[in-house]
Chain A
């Protein structure tokens, strides 16, 4: 890996597990929960956030020396809002139905704390290339949780993955349904997202004792 030094690789891989934006830094939870009833929506959301965070980090990092610190929040918001408008228009043009399912949550990427958090904590003090890697890494960590939650909720809730009936057909009683398996419709309701994320946090912290909080 000539392109990436050891430090740079750490920027990419740390947010995937030990410094995960959702489970450790507690950033960007709002959108992570509402749209994970389907795997497809989670993947699209993850890719959108990756686009916005990667590019936004680069833009902010390029401007970091000319932004007056008093108005930096407004500048950051304008940069994110512009990028999010691009994502929103692209989704409306090429995946209209999906953009309906995501509804206002695409717009809410603007106030997704993950974005402002990384701008403040990283892009304002680092070079564009490193900021780009940090953005991609954090968005990937965010996307990873989204995909895990989306996977379980779609599999257990409607018995499908990306719309394919992997567990058989509930109406024709084929596959698992032939032996009396039932979908747990409860998984499709939004509160279950919270509980699934809670479980992920539980598993992660019992594997890595250093992360345990003092109540």
Chain B
């Protein structure tokens, strides 16, 4: 149940393109034809499905606060999470390279259709964004991380497929000259994003809390903790004196 919920949530509610605007660069650049869009979309699903679980493992066993405890109790106090950007991007870049080599070796037909898109993907924000959201939303298990990766990949695939189809059709309409190409694509994407917002109530029945609230609460808590620690420090110093 958990898996199905996260799966649909990552496809529709938290859609990579329409809710968080990730991977917009390639979304705009490679959406002129449906066939190429399908190729890139498939490559994104594939790479997200591989890198999100991989980065989940990295985060859980190396980067998180106290994650190194498995090495021994003296390592438990390390917090390497500041390294996560560089680790994630390195994993992604190497994985993309690896996937490219493997696909070229074992399935030349697939390589011919996906090949040119794979290097593009290393710098696609959707891929790094998938891993960063996985980290910031604290996805609990490896299985869920895989579901999240595949789900967000499919969401991105659907988005680029839809815009490519619309752009193929819109060629025959009379768009104002200054709006042709990029401008109208932006506006269509905006309208599609508004449409996708209606999926928001799909799983919760509409009583979902707005996303900003927890963040604010976290900030307040943090400030309180800071205050508390300050007071404790002050007490300690007075005691010492």
Task: Give the B-binding residues of A (Cβ under 8 A).
Answer: 23, 26-31, 33-34, 73-74, 77-78, 81-82, 84-85, 88-89, 96-97, 100-101, 103-104, 107-108, 110-113, 116, 189-195, 197-198, 201-202, 205-206, 209, 212-215
Contacts and interface: CB of A to CB of B under 8 A. Distances in A.
B219 A100 contact: yes
Interface residues of B, number: 52
Contacts of B181: 213-215
B184 A198 contact: yes
Contacts of A84: 85
B92 to A, nearest CB: 9
B178 A206 contact: yes
A73 B122 contact: yes
Contact of A111 (B124, B193, B218): B124
B82 to A, nearest CB: 6
Interface stretch (B16-24, B70-78, B100-108): B16-24
Contacts of A113: 25, 123, 125
B22 A30 contact: yes
A114 to B, nearest CB: 9
A201 B177 CA distance: 12
Contacts of B122: 73, 77
Nearest to A92: B82
A213 B84 CA distance: 41
A30 B90 contact: no
Interface of B: 18-25, 28-29, 82-86, 89-90, 93, 119, 122-125, 127-129, 132-133, 136, 171, 175-184, 186-187, 189-191, 193-194, 197, 215, 218-219, 222
Contacts of B127: 111
Contacts of B128: 107-108, 110-111
Given A100-B215, A100-B219, A198-B183, A215 B175 contact: yes
Contacts of B190: 191-195, 198
28 contacts: A74-B90, A74-B93, A77-B93, A77-B122, A77-B123, A81-B86, A81-B90, A85-B83, A85-B86, A101-B215, A103-B136, A104-B136, A108-B132, A110-B85, A111-B124, A111-B129, A113-B125, A192-B190, A193-B21, A194-B193, A195-B186, A198-B190, A205-B177, A213-B180, A214-B180, A214-B181, A215-B175, A215-B181
B25 A30 contact: yes
Contacts of B125: 30-31, 108, 111-113
